[in-house]
A and B are shown apart, each in its own frame.
Chain A
């Protein structure tokens, strides 16, 4: 075999390999999108019975499903805001100040990240039960903030590693007090790290099942609702909502990647 043919085979094999990886990644998503337009009405909703928008209409009549989605969004927004605020202060504080036990506190941050979610879920439930905190939105928020904080801190810390402390000194030197300096220098410079941390916290919260399962009480979040419904096959209105979420997040990613949100390049 001459070299040119060998190269050609290698190249073709590479293409096939890549194609397979992408098919594997995206086929399930395609199935969900296609199924959301499936006119079938009999369980388990898998055989193709023609095209329809009916499920999208039905979705907006399914108040329970919509309410669960509302819970999820509320939970994600509140827990993201709280964990981002706490995480930012913690990361900046731990970067700037040296104190006894800093190494220990630092190490402890990794625990919520590495322990299995199910363990965190059980322990949170135990604590809430012992402290007689009624399970519901409050406990969900507390639980989500708990597991999000370390991720926020790690994200901001990565940004801080290239941070020059003297820019704050320069700001004060030029006449700005501490509050002005924080909002005009510290925060904007750390914004990408804070934004990344917040996005991560939001993503973690919005699709969390395990920890939510232990701490939700009567409040059903969207992932919990989906888990419940698949006992009888995934209902096409769930597919419809998933498709809408998919379109929403894809748009967000495309917008971010295209650089619309960044003021300047570099």
Chain B
């Protein structure tokens, strides 16, 4: 693979608001030129704060952010070569669509003719040709969002920051705009840093996803890596549906790991695990198989509790002896016996072993002992 150029470099960045806990904790993240990177997390996880630090609307408490190798700490928002698409659109209500989009060029004192050509080009690009004389109050939500995107793109920023830009749109429009944004990004080859709490949106649009929780970066990777190889318990349960089995490593054979759980033994794949270590095993509902007889290596009996048809798939809930519920998804027509015992198993590569305690927690425990 060709060497990718880093365009935004976030180094050891912390953000602490006065009188509150840290919102962003020791964040290290590289964003490559031309990629679509999504900051994903639930509200309050620090993703928007991170975006606003790059844009210049929030001060950095400690650490540095480099854009194209240049430290931007002392630069005002209007001196940075990044542009933002706001969640609330933030269109100028007293200006027409044309004047909104032309705003950035007017400040740069470009000649009138050039402004006109570029604005019209931009409006064509976001499929708003003919709307230039309208005021924001005369536009629908989706149209407003397009204006906001055109306005931010006309300055030809090196990086476009998008703060939950589709959050206020209804589902159908959101899906349509997702595709459109992706198309724009591919066409213009501008780096997008996209903030969202919608995991489906993140999975379908991003080249890479950075998942944050409680101000801590959990994992950075392609959608497939994030889904298939979750690095932490949080990532495993946040992205898609999963079943987590807690237990201790009972044997290690290469990358095949056996784990003792309360109701038996299960196996999965993972490296860097020691016998006796506390782990969680994550298995996606669609990867769980079952048999009416025990399967070699697995001794996980379960009782069928409930089956629900959801169109093409059948969702089944089974209960382990310790009372934990496990979700299984099958294609319709392959249903489990309506009642009785089944034995669960899966391919080793479908079960991902995760350290129960990540390093942050060990650090936290150390701190408690010191204090």
Q: What is the distance, in angstroms, from B100's C-beta to the closest C-beta of chain A?
A: 9
Q: Whose C-beta in chain A lies nearest to the C-beta of B87?
A: A166
Residues A174 and B137 in contact, CB atoms below 8 Å apart: no
Q: Does A169 contact B (CB under 8 A)?
A: yes
From B55, B76, B93, B155, name the one whose CB has the most chain A CB atoms within 10 angstroms. B93
Across the interface, which residues of B come within 8 angstroms of A191, CB to CB?
94
**Known A171-B103, A176-B107: A266·B78 in contact at CB below 8 Å:** no
Residues A266 and B83 in contact, CB atoms below 8 Å apart: no
A contact residues, range: 10 to 19
Q: What is the distance, in angstroms, from A136's C-beta to the closest C-beta of chain B?
A: 41
Q: What is the distance, in angstroms, from B141's C-beta to the closest C-beta of chain A?
A: 14
Q: Is the interface of A mostly helix, strand, loop or mixed?
A: helix
Query: A: which residues have CB within 8 A of B?
Result: 164, 166-167, 169-177, 180, 185, 188-189, 191, 264, 266
Residues A172 and B76 in contact, CB atoms below 8 Å apart: yes
List 14 contacting pairs A-B, 8 Å CB cutoff, sorted by A. Answer: A169-B77, A171-B92, A171-B103, A172-B56, A172-B78, A173-B78, A173-B82, A173-B152, A175-B104, A175-B155, A176-B103, A177-B76, A180-B107, A266-B137
In Å, the complex CA distance between A189 and B92 comes to 8
Residues B107 and A164 in contact, CB atoms below 8 Å apart: no
Across the interface, which residues of A come within 8 angstroms of B108, CB to CB?
175
Q: Does B43 contact A (CB under 8 A)?
A: no
**Known A264-B135, A266-B135, A266-B137: A173·B55 in contact at CB below 8 Å:** yes
Residues B107 and A169 in contact, CB atoms below 8 Å apart: no
Q: Does B67 contact A (CB under 8 A)?
A: no
Picked from A169, A175, A189, the residue with its CB within 8 Å of the CB of B57 is: A169
Q: What is the distance, in angstroms, from B370's C-beta to the closest C-beta of chain A?
A: 35
Across the interface, which residues of A come within 8 angstroms of B137, CB to CB?
266
Q: What is the distance, in angstroms, from A110's C-beta to the closest C-beta of chain B?
A: 30
Residues B78 and A176 in contact, CB atoms below 8 Å apart: yes
Q: Whose C-beta in chain A lies nearest to the C-beta of B80?
A: A173
Q: Does B151 contact A (CB under 8 A)?
A: yes
In Å, the complex CA distance between A108 and B48 comes to 37
In Å, the complex CA distance between A196 and B82 comes to 38
In Å, the complex CA distance between A13 and B84 comes to 62
Residues A175 and B93 in contact, CB atoms below 8 Å apart: no
Q: Whose C-beta in chain A lies nearest to the C-beta of B161?
A: A173
Residues A173 and B94 in contact, CB atoms below 8 Å apart: no
Q: What is the distance, in angstroms, from B324's C-beta to the closest C-beta of chain A?
A: 45
